[in-house]
Structure 1
């Protein structure tokens, strides 16, 4: 496979990667045995072993928050052993992300390779001062690399315009019903709303599983090409995505300091309840207010939270005014 050309994420191209995990004893605890490692760029040449690892159970012991912070501190000082330990303890995240895209048309070993490069980048970029767990940051970096690989390596599939339009209708209905029901609708519910057979809805979803699925919305307005919508997702920088994710966690824990309206606006804006991030216009329609007024309330609420933020934590989303 030709080396994937990443955008501008400043990714480390080589690093020691865990080739396998230690077996668990009868108590379920993983024993720390010496682990064989290989350069990241060699993973693509190890298809058979990669598949074996992908199918094996994951037993690496999870790190506590304190252990993550200590490893991150040592990594900042150039400790390669700490870097290896942080990667080893979290390589299950790679397979979790890759598993969701196993039908993308790209060989799974290629996705695993890219996922590990994302994990390496996360270990190098992790900021222990932001109050965010490493697994949150790592998942974002891994997913960005996997989606980038899918975009660049998957075979081109021609989808007739009428089918693409029908798929967009399914997506729009999914977004609308998610807000109404406060959960993702079933195929039967979508079929009833669109006057289609449930089998037809499932077929439209299956046509492009990584571009149109009930688990991964394509965008806000639905007026772009499907591939472009996926490209927009890939283009979002992992550092910014991680920053937003950390802010969500801080917001969720601090919202009781705000008024009920401020709480609801921030919950909708950052998708704290259902994972669906709403635009200023969408929230404005909910409250019968202008987008400018919603932005003012959001800014005021965030300012209140920043004033009470604990030392070492920042409430700065880098949020686009959309």
Structure 2
């Protein structure tokens, strides 16, 4: 117990440490243990943890103490990785999950410091948290990873070539197809979004308008959808020859002369036929009064 005694001496400056009947350090405030002292005490607690059965009061005490003593690892990792708008508390909570996993899987026989073993677990949980929550629109994990690789490849080629790299150059460097590079670029647009109600200031007038007012425009083709749906049964009711004339004129976009040559009639006759058909369809679509 020499190591334990030495650890007691240094730890008492930060927290109260006593000893229970089984010579196990009893720490009143594990969170105040200095990181250097926590490393020494952690070995003692891991030795005891390996000897205890899960579910016992002592096992719970040892495990909880290990968690609290090593929370400084989580805070350190969280402070270095909090690059977005997430609160420090949220990131620490996520990192603590990684710490708990490391404690449950650590064995002294690994002959490695617990800090070295635990940091990848903590960082991994934080990165997973960022990956799952930072995207405004959820995209598959492969596209999330491709976005990060695309950013690195773009920067590397820009430095090397002195210009913005082409899609083909990026595809060759990343060992992807050009289609996959384009897909990764589209996925990058899903990382952040803007509210349609966000206020924007116009440069010329200095007035504020909503983002939604500047996006898109009315598509005149949308009105044609209703017309086409209404015309479909009317055209279906025409005779076969009349439907062919409509198809040649408005789908194939043939001239009246070309249609006349196909039907072996005069151009004047084709003109009269088309006028008659248009009037019939307009009457069926809009009614006799409008036609």
The TM-score, its normalising length taken from structure 1, stands at 0.35
Instruction: Select the structure with the greater relative contact order (CA < 8 A; seq sep ≥ 6).
Output: 1
Which structure's CA Rg is the greater one? 2
Greater fraction helix: 2
